[in-house]
């Protein structure tokens, strides 16, 4: 028998609880443990409420927050690909596309289509909301890396050139936040040798 709309919605809500088990490489600000995907999403959503005034363009804040809350749900199936894992990045897109099909496919069709469109928009980075969301997705871990005295950067032997390459488009969502992150999160940790200077 076909599941009801409400049953499908609860199936999805139960499934996304698994995001809490997806570990990331970024430490919490006190460096006591690494954050998980759901903590990352919550943190960026709140940061967007606070920092959206620095967006380069006018943005729909609810749409941006919605993107940030769902964009890593695909990692339930695909796993987290560390920002500087070059081998993992080779298969990341294919893994995440398959995950998006399955996970958003649990919802009633209209909602699944809407969520998938938001996910695709985040991935494309070609709208004001997706540009700002992608800025948040890069600034939040930099902020935590800086707060934890570069613990994850040191563990992974991250080079300045890698950080600058990853953040080539961070300014597209907010030039102000990128400049702040560069001068307050990155440069001091190059000086402290937490980030390798090429």
Q: Structure tokens of 7?
A: 């049953």
How would you classify residue 158: left for phi > 0, otherwise alpha for psi between -120 and 50, otherwise beta? beta
CA–CA separation, 181 vs 72, rounded Å? 22
Identify the three-state secondary structure at position 74: coil
CA–CA separation, 28 vs 19, rounded Å? 17
> Taking the chain, what is the end-to-end CA distance rounded to the nearest angstrom?
61
Per-residue pLDDT of the chain (198 residues; tens, 9 = 90+): 889 999 999 999 999 999 999 999 999 999 999 999 999 999 999 999 999 999 999 999 999 999 999 999 999 999 898 888 888 888 998 999 999 999 999 999 999 999 999 999 999 999 999 999 999 999 999 999 999 999 999 999 999 999 999 999 999 999 999 999 999 999 999 999 999 997
CA–CA separation, 19 vs 38, rounded Å? 6
Nearest to 182 by CA among 128, 151, 146: 146
């Amino acid at each position: 028998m076909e599941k009801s709309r409400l049953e499908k919605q609860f199936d999805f809500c139960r499934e996304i609880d698994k995001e809490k088990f997806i570990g990331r490489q970024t430490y919490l600000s006190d460096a006591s443990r690494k954050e998980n995907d759901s903590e990352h999403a919550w943190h960026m959503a709140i940061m967007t409420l606070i920092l959206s005034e620095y967006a380069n363009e006018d943005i729909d804040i609810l749409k941006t927050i919605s993107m940030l809350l769902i964009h890593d749900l695909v990692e339930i199936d695909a796993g987290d690909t560390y920002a500087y894992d070059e081998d993992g990045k080779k298969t990341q897109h294919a893994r995440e596309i398959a995950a998006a099909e399955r996970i958003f496919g649990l919802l009633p069709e209209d909602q699944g289509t809407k969520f998938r469109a938001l996910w695709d928009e985040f991935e494309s980075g070609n709208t004001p909301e997706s540009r700002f969301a992608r800025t948040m997705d890069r600034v939040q871990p930099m902020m935590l890396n800086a707060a934890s005295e570069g613990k994850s950067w040191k563990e992974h032997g991250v080079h300045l050139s890698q950080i600058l390459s990853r953040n080539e488009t961070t300014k597209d969502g907010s030039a102000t936040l990128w400049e702040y992150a560069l001068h307050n999160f990155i440069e001091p940790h190059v000086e402290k040798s937490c980030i390798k200077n090429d």
